[in-house]
Structure 1
Amino acid sequence: MAESAFLSQPKEAPSLQCERRCLLTSLPNEILREICRHLKAGDLARLCVQDTQLYELAGERDLWQPFCVAKWQQCDTPGSLLMSPAIYNDNWRALYSARMSMPPGLPICVDKLHALQLSAAATQSGTIVQRLFTESMQALFSIGLAVNQDKTLKASRDYKLCLASLIWWLRTHPEVIIAYVRQTNAALQEYDMWSSGFVNWAQIPSRRSAIAFLQAAACSAQPWEHASLLQRLEIDVGHLDYSIRSVEEESENLGVRIPAGVPAAHWWFWLSGRVTSTRSC
């Protein structure tokens, strides 16, 4: 039964509701658990609010874990969803409830960010670490857009897990972060006079925004600890911004689509009015 249909039904008389609850709670717990295993997540959630006994039974870990794994486990990212239950004290029902109120892609990006951190911690290859950080910045870009649209997400446990992953990168791989900024600058300046001009421009605005989100995260979490890195970042980001403005002066076509959630301060998405926006007026 669809949840909207359930909510639109008239409420039953209290005596009838009580009678039905009594019929359920009179069953042995083993049978109730078996019934719960065949329910969908929405039906299981509604069962939780019927009775204290049902609340406890319907909240057991082995009932909610499959729903969470099916919805957020990423087959292409080993280690995803490993840490998230811990930030909810291994309460899979709480995890499911909290994440269902978030933008659909946000939990996946948070899990991916943390899984990439775990992979980076397990390798000694600088090349692999750099690649993993690049993927992490792609996830951070999506997270930053979601949080910019809904500032209340900053209070969520998932966002705190995101910050923990970013702080790990800041502490353990500052050179990788600097290299990412410089690689972005180098990619920006690749020019093909016979085809599309600045061939990598399409990816530059999102990379620049991810850098801005990383800087903001560093400033919000013990900035004194990362003061040296932030100063170095500011210098290299200044060089990158200079290159972006130079490209604006030289290019006739810098059109990129602006995803929802881009902060107005991220000026690189709105260069010279030659940007195609998906936003409605």
Structure 2
Amino acid sequence: MKRAELDSAACAATFQALPPDLLLHILGLLSAQDLAAVSIQDTYVRQVASDRTLWEPLALARWPGADAERQYAGNWHRLYLVRAPLNHTFPLAADRVRAVTAAQQQRHAEQQQVQRGAGSRGESSAAAAGAGGQGGHSGRAASVAALPHLAFEDVMRQTFNAGLACSKDRAVRRTAEWRELKTDLTWWATQRPEVVVAFIRSTHEALAAGGRGGWSDTPWRRSAVAFLLDLGLLVGAHASVANRVASEARALDRAISAVQREASSAVAGPDGIPAEHWWFN
């Protein structure tokens, strides 16, 4: 038997002699890489090394928004092993989209519940309630109405990041995070289509008004829209919604083309945008 095999066998025998609590404590002192290497020694060590108390802090240190309960049935070891080889940006972007979307889903559900309650009380009660403090109420309403648009701005920024990561690492398409990202973006496309349309419209309006001076955010915003459309998420939306999104996207493309024609030199997107998402040069 070779020296390396003897050392490995001796190490395994030593670990097997330790009670689970002590072995768990020792394994907790290791890095993720060392922990993964040790866990293949034998069945006993592998079982102890899969404990969530070892992998949950390691995963959260690397991906603060990770949630193994939701994505991997509570298996933090599995989550770490799946995510570690991926482009680092993708899990971070997908986690952020999930957090923002979940908050908006809850807000949307609460607003619908309030609207149903207001309808059941009748118009007279609603009119009486609106008679006092109308100015303050309208200000709060305007603030709340703006929140979904700000949230979707964040979602689309992360969608852009996810799209870039996907173009560099196709393995992300086989993950639970990828499926969850598609589900979240589908919710926006089907439940808040007016926000999706407004995002695209605001992009081409800013570009049309500012010309090349309004260019700075256009590349990532247009690339995010392309990624959204590439996923085919509007298939489940109403035909009128899909038509509105397509119409706004065409208007944005016309505004981009106008800036390109007027520019004395080529106006390009930042490095890294997939060629299929940036065809304006």
TM-score, normalisation: structure 2:
0.81
Q: How does 1:121-200 map to 2 (within 5 A)?
A: 121-123=105-107, 125-191=144-210, 198-200=212-214
Aligned in 2, Cα 1:202/1:118: closer, same or farther, shift over 3 Å?
Answer: same
Alpha-carbon shift at residue 102 of structure 1 (Å): 0.7
Q: Which has the higher contact order (CA 8 A, sep 6+)?
A: 2
Which is higher, the Rg of structure 1 or of structure 2?
2
Match of 2:123 in 1: none
Between 1:205-214 and 1:256-265, the stretch displaced more is 256-265
- Cα gap change, 1:222 to 1:250, in 2 (>3 Å): closer
- Contact 2:87 2:169 (8 Å CA) reproduced: no
Q: Is the 1:141–1:210 contact (alpha carbons within 8 Å) kept by the matching residues of 2?
A: yes
Equivalent residue runs for 1:72-151 within 5 Å: 72-73=63-64, 80-82=65-67, 84-123=68-107, 125-151=144-170
Summarize deviations over 1:225-261 as a string: whole Å, max 9, x none. Answer: 4543222211111111111111212222554453325
Query: What per-residue deviation string (whole Å, max 9, x for no partner) do you get for residues 85-111 of structure 1?
Result: 421121111111111111111111110
Which ranges in structure 2 are unaligned for 5 or more consecutive residues?
112-143
Question: Distance in 2 between the 1:156 and 1:25 partners?
Answer: 34
Percent of aligned pairs with the same amino acid = 28
Aligned residue in 2 for 1:7? none
> 1:67 — aligned with what?
58
TM-score (norm 1): 0.81
Partners of 2:260 and 2:100 in 1: CA distance:
34
Deviations 1:3-28 (A, max 9, x none): xxxxxxxx844333222211111111
Q: Which residue does 2:12 correspond to in 1?
A: 21
Deviations 1:125-153 (Å, cap 9, x if unpaired)?
A: 22011000011000000111111223232
Gaps of 5+ in 1: 1-10, 74-79, 192-196, 272-281
Shift of 1:264: 3.4
Instruction: Indicate if the aligned counterparts of 1:190 and 1:198 stay in contact, CA closer than 8 A.
Output: no
Higher share in helix: 2
Instruction: Note the C-alpha offset of 1:213.
Output: 0.8
Aligned to 1:216: 230
Matched position secondary structure for 1:49: coil
How many positions carry a matched residue from both structures?
245
Q: Distance in 2 between matches of 1:216 and 1:110?
A: 17
Secondary structure (helix, strand or coil) at the match of 1:202 reads coil
